[in-house]
Amino acid sequence: MDVKIENSWKEALKDEFEKPYFATLCEFVRQEYKSFTIYPPAGLIFNAFNLCPIDKIKVVIIGQDPYHEPGQAHGLCFSVNDGIKYPPSLQNIYKEIASEYNQPMPQSGNLTRWAEQGVLLLNATLTVREHAAGSHQWKGWETFTDNVIKEVNKRCEGVVFLLWGSYAQKKEMFIDKAKVCVLKSAHPSPLSAYRGFFGCNHFVMANEYLRKNGKEEIIW
């Protein structure tokens, strides 16, 4: 199957694109876009991959589901388009960065600048129906993104995985901690951020690890 995705990912995932489950998933997604309003826009489903080639990855952040309200989702977990109000989890992420680095919060919730520096902003599910959180879960996306994590684990060293919340932490089973750094905390959601996300110091720690491994730090 010819999937429009950045070339390094196309090579890394070429076997995945030929598996029966992926064909079934693509047909489901095609029908959903025909019948409903689906986010992100179809051309941005693989935005996280297109902005961050596999050989450029420094940090992996794992989310669960795209935002499901108008104008928000653009293919990067936790990120929203310019001019869109910060969702609560992103606001808490920015609060933690502001605390760690003693800097003001950014004006935009668009994390494209992170992706372009080597942060893979990976949702486990890459599409969602408008106003219906979780509506595209268990259709095949999780199988695909689990295998993405396995490919990153296989091909990359000196990468930082930020696993926030129990859902992301289940992905730890695919990660060889001898090759990478895994940082875990509570989810930045308002329901849980006070149980360990605030004060986690993950952004400073990630940059310290990158620096020790001879990589350029992320400008958060």
Which residues are catalytically annotated?
65
Q: Are 218 and 59 in contact (CB under 8 A)?
A: yes
Rounded CA-CA distance 13/187 in Å is 29
Tokens read off for 110: 């668009």
Dihedral sign (CA 30, 34, 38, 43): positive
Rounded CA-CA distance 199/220 in Å is 16
Rounded CA-CA distance 73/200 in Å is 26
Sheet holding 181-185, edge to edge: 119-123, 59-63, 160-164, 181-185
Tokens read off for 79: 């990120």
Q: Phi/psi of residue 214, each to 5°?
A: 75, 25
Cα-trace Rg, the chain: 17
